[in-house]
Amino acid sequence: MTDMTAAHFSGSAVIVTGGGTGIGRATARTFAEQGAQVLVVGRTAARLAETAADAPGIRPLVADVSAPGAAELIVNTAMEAFGRIDVLVNNAAVVRQAPVGDIRREAAEEMFAVNLLAPMYLVQAALPHLSESAGVVINVSTAIGQRGWPMPGGELYAALKAALDTLTRSWAVQLAPRGVRVAGVAPGPIATAIGQHQGLDAEQIDALRTTLIEHVPLGRLGQVEEVAFWIAQLARREAGYTTGVVLPVDGGALVG
């Protein structure tokens, strides 16, 4: 057995929101390959089913994380299925353009609800179980935008990730006495369908990627597995002295 497939999470139960695609799917599979049972949450049953295909440890739950009562539903489903919660990965997010001067309430409120409020309520609902298991919360942030989003329209998305990072650091302090660690990963531009999911066409996606790569010293997009790797590493018992960090996984974007 190689280290990557060693059963580091044998007996552990993991929740991954937005587990039907992209970084969330790779994260769910990484945990499952290392022995975890994983609940993947998303709004699209077919995407979740694809994540769970050939992975007996992965269970789908169709839910909108921003719906009232979703946090309780997700936590109750995990507890019924697994009897414990060891790791919560807040990964689901949406990107909506909101350039100042043309910020639409619907776009702004959807981003608030999915990207910030949903992780907040989910941590709150999972807390009693995370405390019992000396569990870990991993919040998925963003590296691009930490100094100001380079193109108009993405700044509200970046601001909500910055708010999530503040919660990551604050909760790390507040939950330490309960044995719960809280960390984040901040991906640079990663090869996923996130552009498609925000309604961009192929040309716009190409243009966006070209601009984003200009901010990446390593000069390429990251792969989903390269982010999932660190999400799982941070959740491992061996990382037990690490809390309150938001780890850039960004090809050097933050220092470039």
Ligand X SMILES: NC(=O)c1ccc[n+]([C@@H]2O[C@H](COP(=O)([O-])OP(=O)(O)OC[C@H]3O[C@@H](n4cnc5c(N)ncnc54)[C@H](OP(=O)(O)O)[C@@H]3O)[C@@H](O)[C@H]2O)c1
Q: Which of residues 140-169 bind ligand X (CB under 6 A)?
A: 140, 142
Please give the Cα distance from 135 to 86 (Å, whole number): 4
Residue-wise burial string across 188-206, b where 16 or more C-beta atoms lie within 10 A, e elsewhere:
bbbebebbeebebeeeeee
What is the DSSP-derived secondary structure letter of residue 222?
B
Residue 6 or 193: the one with the smaller Cβ distance to ligand X is 193
Residue 135 or 248: the one with the smaller Cβ distance to ligand X is 248
Q: Tell me the residue number closest to ligand X, measured at CB.
A: 22
Q: Are 134 and 243 in contact (CB under 8 A)?
A: no
Interhelix angle 22-33/224-235, nearest 10 degrees: 50
Site string for ligand X, 89-108 (x = CB under 6 A): --xxxx--------------
Is position 121 annotated as part of the catalytic site? no
The DSSP string of 176-207 is GGGT-EEEEEEE-SBSSSHHHHTT--HHHHHH
For residue 76, the minimal CB distance to ligand X (Å) is 16
For residue 15, the minimal CB distance to ligand X (Å) is 12
Residue spans of alpha helices (H) in the chain:
22-33, 45-52, 70-82, 105-111, 118-133, 155-175, 194-197, 202-213, 224-235
For residue 172, the minimal CB distance to ligand X (Å) is 19
For residue 181, the minimal CB distance to ligand X (Å) is 19
Q: Which of residues 179-238 bind ligand X (CB under 6 A)?
A: 187, 189-190, 192-194, 197
The correct pick among 15, 16, 23, 158 for binding ligand X (CB under 6 A) is 23
Site string for ligand X, 46-85 (x = CB under 6 A): -x----------------xxx-------------------
For residue 71, the minimal CB distance to ligand X (Å) is 11
Residue 132 or 225: the one with the smaller Cβ distance to ligand X is 225
Residue 62 or 131: the one with the smaller Cβ distance to ligand X is 62
Please give the Cα distance from 67 to 54 (Å, whole number): 29
- C-alpha distance from residue 55 to each of 29, 40, 235 (Å): 7, 12, 20
Closest Cα partner for 52 from 35, 67, 40, 36? 40
Which tokens in the block code for residue 177?
Answer: 């006495």
* Displacement of CA 153 from its chain's centroid (Å): 21
130 lies in the binding site for ligand X (CB under 6 A): no
Task: Point out the catalytic residue in the list 157, 167, 222, 234.
Answer: 157
For residue 142, the minimal CB distance to ligand X (Å) is 4
Please give the Cα distance from 119 to 71 (Å, whole number): 9
Q: Show which residues are catalytic.
A: 157
In the complex, the residues that contact ligand X under the rule CB under 6 A are 17-18, 20-24, 41-44, 47, 64-66, 91-94, 114, 140, 142, 187, 189-190, 192-194, 197
